[in-house]
Amino acid sequence: FTSVIETYVYLQKEFDKGLLDHVGSLQFCIKGELSRVKELQCQANERHKQQLVMSSAELYWKPKLDDYRKKLDEYHNSWSSWVPWPGAYQVEYHNHVAMLKDHILHLVRAAREDMDRHNYERVGSSVALVQHFRSVLQYHLPSVPITTEAQNLEHHVLRAFSCLQDDLKAALAKDNITEFESLFLQYQKFVQNIATPYVEIKRRLVHVHEHIHDIVNLRVAGLNSQVDVFDFAGAAASVNLLRNIGHVLTGVYAVYHEFIRTFANDGFLQRINDMCTEHFGGKALSRLGAFYALLEVPPNASQEDIDRAFKLKSREYHSDMHARKGICQQDPDGMQKRITEARDELRNPRVRDEYRRGFLEPFSIMIKDIPKKLRKQAEEFLQKRKYEEVKQLLTCVKDFHRLACLVDPPLDGEQVRVDMHKAVKEHVNTIQANIADHWSRRKLKELHDDFTCLDRIDENFGAYAEIYSDTWKKDISKQVESDIDSLAEQARSYLSDDGA
């Protein structure tokens, strides 16, 4: 096309100078032919641009450019007069190289704009395409402008990645799990689409893994401490928080881990998996949670919600939609197959019920053991006559219903309270029996200790009518006082008899 256009342009100039006057009978419209050839060239350029996809680097562009370059090298290296002048090849070669360079630079700049819009699929597609063409056609492409723009893009990507990591860690540290889940979904798409070409991103992944591991460990340790001191209101809040974190770890994180385990295997990933096994249902629950995460539906999603989400996701990952978005990679991770599997699995009501039960299961065993632990602790305190600590336990029991409702089936919080009161009541009855026994046998020292103990019981449990009533104390005190008065009267009578 270039040679034909140059020829037509030359003829047009000669015609304009008067040549056409000497060939007036020529049935030839140079302007029309020139326009037609230019239109054919534009169509050819469009066909070239359509070949700007990854598979065409080796199949289309490299053979064509290598052929042009070979002919140019033959001309420059030959001393023979019969080697034709390769002007057309030279022009075509430089046109193709310029077209490639402009398109690659356009991809780099578009990737920066898409990064700011969080369109990570297009960014990943553009970066992969740029790197592939630079790798395959590096002999033909000018290195300086493309390398500079590619380096600027890499710095932009790394800055965006660092900011996203900081936001993600801050959300988890502040226990804002809704924001953490939203950011992790964004983070997972970032890593899935962009991380592969960048070694520095892969190296930085461990920072988020370490943070997740440390925060979850810290929250679990906090829950254990709250249970140890019977802070049931705080423990209930911690259980809900950890279950929400577990929902992320068995959902979005499970999809993320499935992808990155092919190229990242730091120690914190295994530790997070161990935590999921210990606290959040392990691989079985993570497999189901990944299905919910792939369709981006909540644990309580209905069959209609799942079908609706599948249609949206199927349309999103369809090859035609990718082409319309300017994404060159056609479903690289087999997402159509994965979301179809997720839809088929979650259509089963038993599978959905299994996940919902698993979602409510973490820390249920700990909660169910609390009543026994509470009763045992109360009995130890009562045995050591630490009534202030027992009173504190009775105060804590009022909040146990906050934890009782977090297991399936719910525990009877009222029964736990009744059992605690019963344990204290039994101790009070023992003290009362000891007082009666010690007084009947006139063990005055033990009696004094028992009354001191009863005074402390009255001070700490006087507000609990079902546990302790001061009526018995008043009655036994009157009886003791009466007996002492009788003894005193008897002693006085003995003294008066001796004086007589």
For residues 460 and 391, the answer to whether their CB atoms sit within 8 Å is yes
pLDDT in tens, 65-81: 788 777 777 766 655 44
Report how far apart, in Å, the C-alpha atoms of 264 and of each of 159, 302, 332 are.
21, 35, 19
> How many CA atoms does the CB half-sphere of 447 hold within 13 Å?
14
For residues 141 and 52, the answer to whether their CB atoms sit within 8 Å is no
Task: Check whether the bond before 409 is cis (ω within 30° of 0).
Answer: yes
The more confident residue out of 11 and 263 is 263
Q: How far apart are CA 33 and CA 37, in angstroms?
A: 6
Residue 166: the pLDDT is: 96
Residue 360: the pLDDT is: 79
Crossing angle for the helix pair 232-249 and 252-260, nearest 10 degrees? 40
Q: How far apart are CA 464 and CA 428, in angstroms?
A: 12
Report how far apart, in Å, the C-alpha atoms of 312 and of each of 295, 307, 324, 336 are.
9, 9, 16, 11
> How many residues does the structure list for the chain?
500
DSSP string, 136-199: HSTTTS-HHHHHHHHHHHHHHHHHHHHHHHHHHHHHHHTT-HHHHHHHHHHHHHHHHHHTTT-H
For residues 65 and 96, the answer to whether their CB atoms sit within 8 Å is yes
Q: Which amino acid is at 36?
A: R
pLDDT in tens, 100-143: 888 888 888 888 888 888 888 888 888 888 888 888 877 777 77
Q: What is the maximum alpha-carbon separation in the chain? A: 179
pLDDT in tens, 275-307: 998 899 888 888 888 888 888 888 888 889 999
Q: Which of 26-35, 206-215, 248-257, 280-289 has the lowest mean pLDDT?
A: 26-35
Residue 81: the pLDDT is: 47
For residues 298 and 355, the answer to whether their CB atoms sit within 8 Å is no
Q: How far apart are CA 362 and CA 310, in angstroms?
A: 29
For residues 382 and 424, the answer to whether their CB atoms sit within 8 Å is yes
Contacts of 485 (CB under 8 A, 6+ apart): none
> Could you tell me the two tokens for 102?
């402009």
Residue 51: the pLDDT is: 47
pTM over 0.85? The answer is: no
Give mean pLDDT, residues 367-390.
92
The more confident residue out of 81 and 312 is 312
**Is the C-alpha dihedral spanning 374, 375, 379, 382 positive or negative?**
positive
- The phi-psi region of residue 141 (left if phi > 0; otherwise alpha if psi is between -120 and 50; otherwise beta) is beta
Residue 283: the pLDDT is: 84
Q: Which residues of 440-475 are buried (b: 16+ CB within 10 A; e: fewer)?
A: eeeeeeebeebbebbebbeebbeeeeebbeeeebee
Crossing angle for the helix pair 177-194 and 232-249, nearest 10 degrees? 20
For residues 41 and 33, the answer to whether their CB atoms sit within 8 Å is no
Find the angle CA(211)-CA(217)-CA(219) to the nearest 5 degrees.
100
Residue 480: the pLDDT is: 73
Closest CA to 153 of 192, 191, 110: 110
pLDDT in tens, 345-359: 998 888 888 888 887
DSSP 442: T
Contacts of 278 (CB under 8 A, 6+ apart): none
For residues 404 and 474, the answer to whether their CB atoms sit within 8 Å is no
Contacts of 397 (CB under 8 A, 6+ apart): 230, 232, 374, 416, 417, 420
Which single residue is written with the structure tokens 């577990």? Answer: 246
